[in-house]
Structure 1
């Protein structure tokens, strides 16, 4: 699109994050080859400042003058009423800004970008969950030009993906920055707890909180409520915890023995940092981009991390450069680092530190409460004007961020002016999370002057309207009861035929050939590289034995089926983990060969009722059962599976291992049974219930399982 050298596996680009203009300029100043960022809408980092089209047009011109590329992240779930707005935004982006690539997770953008005349690359986000070799071939057939790999892969798996990648498709992988405990695109934790979805860029990071498991959890929560003099809360929590505790003598012993409990930030990950190991990524086929996470970080972080990885890429055999780069990364103010699963011989590494501090930033000191009540800090190092500090961590009531207004020498006294309701306790840690060194600020002012000299390209109204397919009349299908165990065959419930659904696994696939055709086979929500071939063989065997109904829980799973059984010979349904929520995405699924689709479980009542009137495919939904709040490959550290654990608010959860992945469930099921008639009237023609073997001792919490039905998906 522009006369800019393209990256290669021999010289992959250093891809820098930018959440605001100073961070964008810091990336250019440090020598980034490309910068990715979000707009005010349709970005999976909505908490970042993000950019308007007018300012982005100048920034893109500046980047192109430096032979650097610009990629715009439009990687959110698109709701039923949003495809037309997304089209107008992409159309204006293509004409006014001319970025080099779009980063997308929703299939809607594949069609929307084409219609809007976007000429840059289409990059499928890690939120799209392309985790195995076949997904790359399917992505290429859809017209994608790049796939962003998941952060859970080892170097061997990344190499396998590179070797399987078709010509004409590039790969991008993360080398540094924050890790999520759950697999990207397979986390509903924040949304399930209140409508703030990671798929919409609104995650409130429930994984970063302190959780409790064991006898001490109940006693601690009750003591906390009593200390707050909340009598009604005490009674409520007491009832709730009695429901959640194991019954009989064992349960009584746990409530009396708080010392036996465990608590910690069990799911709060350290930061990924490949540093000197990044050189092992050189020369992997099709891997052309090293990505740095951090669109909510400041220019200090961007400048230092980009500088360090550019040094490591350009001087892979220089020991002194490696040492210097590691020292620069120490200055970047991130969390403590981890290799995660990158090294295959250490593939059981769990990148969490339940008892440690997993907040980002450099520990500057701890809070002191003076005799006169003042809150002070004696820093371990010099603080500079415009430094930014974090008091405590996000889930503490006194958590706050504030700037430093004057120089404070090492061991000097900084007075912290905080609201009375946010007064921290003595010993609370304070972190330096951003630093504006005079040298960096002077450098950024030079770049800002260059930016200011460039003209702004004005936007024009979009007159052309997008074309979306007409809706279809819903066709009835049997309901499905999806079970983790072996099938019972067809059933009748309330006069309506039901079919048994099974998660496809080595155990469930080994059943009688007379039963296989009567099952709805649900493919896993995540398929890792080494699992793909065995899964393909199981699918082929089931098809030979007459199985025809399959639910694919990623669009890319469609091409795992035998070529001679495509089309009408198979009944392929897009599953709920495909995260489908709009008519444009459904049209892409229809063109791929899907016969029907389950919609995303995250939608609100208004969105649910609107979608069937727009859909080109028959629609179903998961109406009841245990929907997981997240799926992880990182394992458990400090939490026992199949036992309840509690959030700071007393909400119960439990974890279970399925096929090497950890599935985390809430202590209460999804239940939209009372809304069934309304949903049928709106046009839904089939429903599913997900059954699970509930852990012994867990009584479901008495709270509604409506997900976002009565709220909103922000």
Structure 2
């Protein structure tokens, strides 16, 4: 571990459109991160074309501000050429300082495009334990973005393990997801809109019913490090404080950046900084897990958790109005209700209203608003900020536009097993005779009298790592491994190896760092590694993996295309109690192990496993009818994941093909 010289952390601002980008410049952020029109983890933001980004980057650099591009989507096999060509144009026409990436295929693509900037591993990449940092560095990353679920103790543990010149980035402010980043499949499960591809429709923000009570059990308050910034600043190797909010307004960007600059540079002006945060139009804030001895559960809230600043509730549906908690001025933008509500709408304030004054909404024909509906302010056009944006816009107009020429690059592979798709070949090298397909049943505990002849696997974390490791079993590591669990897990692995264990399934690529000689073992990447293309498989092979179980989130076309040109044997999930969400928290009024119901009548439940909570729908992922297609495609292992169904939860027989027949968005 090399402790980096102490210097003030960089304030990294979000930008979802040009106005927010300019607002970050106006606030003198140290760096700005933004996304392109495609392959971004915030596809619902406006995002940027390469033409726009080329000019904005020049403007930012003229102010001494760095620019990072979030290219942090998983990439399907059919999209690798497209991703490479976009990277080629990004490299030739912009001068961005870093890429924030989730899919490790991007490391190879960036190299092939000649990108000379730095590579940052997104929090979606799920590097959550100290040993994983070295594995990430060896894969080509100079920075890791830590999970928002971490405590200050977790952050200190990770910071103490930073190798070489690597550094860490932490979130200090913004929206919280219920799930651990990279471990949410909720939006995808209910309609193909993947959170891992920036398409999340936020089902966690909706009303759910349990025990006759309807509430937003999974909707979090925002994260706010605010008064803990002083402690955070003292942790070495934390180079960057990140503000979440690429879908937020310029007003939010400006005032959150201003607030954290004060908290970093002049903490004696804490009162002023906190007033900026209160004025930034965010949800109510929470310290979340930052103080491990005094956890602030962001699900334990009485306030509304819609995006924006809560103003009040509708009093009279016939002539709707609300009593505003804040003074309103013309141009303020209001959001009425939540997105899943049929009367959800956006309205602009047309007149000045004092604090605690009545504001009557503009009636919209056929859209009756229910009594008690929440009203939020989502943007404010302050005169001072608007003037600065106007001046910066004039500067931007003076920067010449760039003409972007097409790229004709095609992906190349390092291993003979891969073939470029553009070559017209439909398969890889000539394979040996297709081996018999293996089947693996995976349990939470060792079956007492299993009569099957399938390979058996189990989660080693079951019973707090208390299961004796049978030598011939497949030992599965958890999808999330927090810092305090790493030593326990590593000791378990050492004991298992002494007893002759050789078969392991890792559910984060960075868990490979827990093994001294992975090449001597049979280590497979598990389905939670979110593998969707063969460039990722190449990276896994180079790190010592023997095989890979691809993402079950994929549609059939991509899923079936992968084995043809894979350099490793591949497996697929055939049947599973698949979790739609894995979280570190649970609402205090949600009963674990008992079913709850969604607004559409779907049933699910939450189970606790060690440090995490898994939420499961009451129907299984079932591709058993596709076994022959999977076998013909070249998959050599089919996996069945079994969970303990709580008493009282009734499983529903329904087609569980997930995205097989859909187009994964």
Is the shorter-chain TM-score for this pair beyond 0.5, marking a shared fold?
yes
Q: Deviations over 1:213-263 (max 9, x none)?
A: 12x3xxxxxxxxxxxxxxxxxxxxxxxxxxxxxxxxxxxxxxxxxxxxx33
Corresponding residue of 1:234 = none
Q: Find the aligned partners of 2:555 and 2:109 in 1 and give their Cα distance.
A: 24
C-alpha displacement of 1:408 = 4.8
Unaligned runs of 5+ in 1: 1-6, 217-261
Report the CA distance shift for 1:624/1:313 in structure 2 as closer, same or farther (over 3 A).
Answer: same
Q: Residues 528-539 of structure 1 correspond to what in structure 2 (within 5 A)?
A: 528-539=482-493
Where 2:376 maps in the other structure, the secondary structure is strand
Is the 8 Å Cα contact of residues 8 and 288 (structure 1) preserved in structure 2?
no
Residues 1:397 and 2:397 are matched in the alignment: no
Corresponding residue of 1:226 = none
C-alpha displacement of 1:508 = 8.1
Which piece of structure 1 moves more, 607-616 or 118-127? 607-616
Q: Deviations over 1:276-333 (max 9, x none)?
A: 21111113221100000000001000000000000110113x1xx0011011110011
C-alpha displacement of 1:354 = 5.7
Kindly indicate which of the two structures has a greater share of residues assigned to helix.
1
Q: Deviations over 1:461-484 (max 9, x none)?
A: 223322024146465452110001
Q: Residues 285-300 of structure 1 correspond to what in structure 2 (within 5 A)?
A: 285-300=236-251
Corresponding residue of 2:421 = none
Q: Residues 49-448 of structure 1 correspond to what in structure 2 (within 5 A)?
A: 49-214=46-211, 216=212, 262-316=213-267, 318=268, 321-347=269-295, 349-353=296-300, 355-369=302-316, 373-377=318-322, 379-408=324-353, 411=357, 413-420=359-366, 422-448=367-393
Q: Find the aligned partners of 1:152 and 1:688 in 2 and give their Cα distance.
A: 30
Corresponding residue of 1:483 = 443
Where 1:345 maps in the other structure, the secondary structure is coil
Q: Find the aligned partners of 2:319 and 2:277 in 1 and give their Cα distance.
A: 35
Q: Find the aligned partners of 2:120 and 2:142 in 1 and give their Cα distance.
A: 6
Corresponding residue of 1:504 = 460
Corresponding residue of 1:248 = none
- What do you get for the CA RMSD once the two structures are aligned? 1.9
Is the 8 Å Cα contact of residues 10 and 282 (structure 1) preserved in structure 2?
no
Is the 8 Å Cα contact of residues 129 and 554 (structure 1) preserved in structure 2?
yes
C-alpha displacement of 1:114 = 0.9
1:590 pairs with one of 531, 541, 560: 541
Report the CA distance shift for 1:263/1:366 in structure 2 as closer, same or farther (over 3 A).
Answer: closer
Report the CA distance shift for 1:394/1:463 in structure 2 as closer, same or farther (over 3 A).
Answer: closer
Where 2:314 maps in the other structure, the secondary structure is strand
Report the CA distance shift for 1:483/1:456 in structure 2 as closer, same or farther (over 3 A).
Answer: same
Q: Find the aligned partners of 1:271 and 1:508 in 2 and give their Cα distance.
A: 31
Residues 1:554 and 2:554 are matched in the alignment: no
Q: Find the aligned partners of 1:551 and 1:147 in 2 and give their Cα distance.
A: 23
Q: Find the aligned partners of 1:676 and 1:144 in 2 and give their Cα distance.
A: 38
Is the 8 Å Cα contact of residues 37 and 49 (structure 2) preserved in structure 1?
yes
Q: Find the aligned partners of 2:465 and 2:278 in 1 and give their Cα distance.
A: 49
Q: Deviations over 1:334-373 (max 9, x none)?
A: 00010000002124x4211465311122233333447xx4
Report the CA distance shift for 1:353/1:400 in structure 2 as closer, same or farther (over 3 A).
Answer: farther
C-alpha displacement of 1:613 = 2.1
Q: Deviations over 1:597-632 (max 9, x none)?
A: 011111111221222223222111111120111111
Is the 8 Å Cα contact of residues 488 and 500 (structure 1) preserved in structure 2?
no
Q: Residues 659-674 of structure 1 correspond to what in structure 2 (within 5 A)?
A: 659-674=610-625
Corresponding residue of 2:557 = 606
Q: Find the aligned partners of 1:571 and 1:165 in 2 and give their Cα distance.
A: 28
Report the CA distance shift for 1:467/1:364 in structure 2 as closer, same or farther (over 3 A).
Answer: same
What is the aligned residue count?
646
Report the CA distance shift for 1:511/1:531 in structure 2 as closer, same or farther (over 3 A).
Answer: closer
Which piece of structure 1 moves more, 160-169 or 288-297? 160-169
Is the 8 Å Cα contact of residues 16 and 45 (structure 2) preserved in structure 1?
yes
Using the size of structure 2 for normalisation, the TM-score is 0.94
Q: Deviations over 1:169-207 (max 9, x none)?
A: 110000000001110001111111111110010111111
1:38 pairs with one of 35, 38, 58: 35
Corresponding residue of 2:518 = 566
Is the 8 Å Cα contact of residues 577 and 600 (structure 1) preserved in structure 2?
yes
Corresponding residue of 1:518 = 472
Report the CA distance shift for 1:31/1:655 in structure 2 as closer, same or farther (over 3 A).
Answer: same
Residues 1:467 and 2:464 are matched in the alignment: no
Is the 8 Å Cα contact of residues 576 and 622 (structure 2) preserved in structure 1?
yes
Where 1:627 maps in the other structure, the secondary structure is coil
C-alpha displacement of 1:702 = 3.1
C-alpha displacement of 1:507 = 3.8
Corresponding residue of 2:638 = 687
Corresponding residue of 1:713 = 664
Where 2:174 maps in the other structure, the secondary structure is strand
Unaligned runs of 5+ in 2: 419-427
Q: Deviations over 1:526-565 (max 9, x none)?
A: 000011011111101101111000001000111201x2x4
Report the CA distance shift for 1:655/1:460 in structure 2 as closer, same or farther (over 3 A).
Answer: same
Is the 8 Å Cα contact of residues 437 and 635 (structure 2) preserved in structure 1?
no
Is the 8 Å Cα contact of residues 367 and 376 (structure 1) preserved in structure 2?
yes
Report the CA distance shift for 1:380/1:625 in structure 2 as closer, same or farther (over 3 A).
Answer: closer
Q: Find the aligned partners of 2:341 and 2:135 in 1 and give their Cα distance.
A: 45
C-alpha displacement of 1:679 = 1.4
Corresponding residue of 1:47 = 44
Residues 1:703 and 2:654 are matched in the alignment: yes
Residues 1:654 and 2:605 are matched in the alignment: yes
Where 1:139 maps in the other structure, the secondary structure is helix
Is the 8 Å Cα contact of residues 140 and 168 (structure 1) preserved in structure 2?
no
Report the CA distance shift for 1:550/1:449 in structure 2 as closer, same or farther (over 3 A).
Answer: same
Report the CA distance shift for 1:475/1:68 in structure 2 as closer, same or farther (over 3 A).
Answer: farther
Is the 8 Å Cα contact of residues 573 and 638 (structure 2) preserved in structure 1?
yes
Is the 8 Å Cα contact of residues 489 and 518 (structure 1) preserved in structure 2?
no
C-alpha displacement of 1:511 = 5.3
Where 1:81 maps in the other structure, the secondary structure is helix
Is the 8 Å Cα contact of residues 268 and 354 (structure 1) preserved in structure 2?
no
C-alpha displacement of 1:58 = 0.5
Is the 8 Å Cα contact of residues 271 and 334 (structure 1) preserved in structure 2?
yes
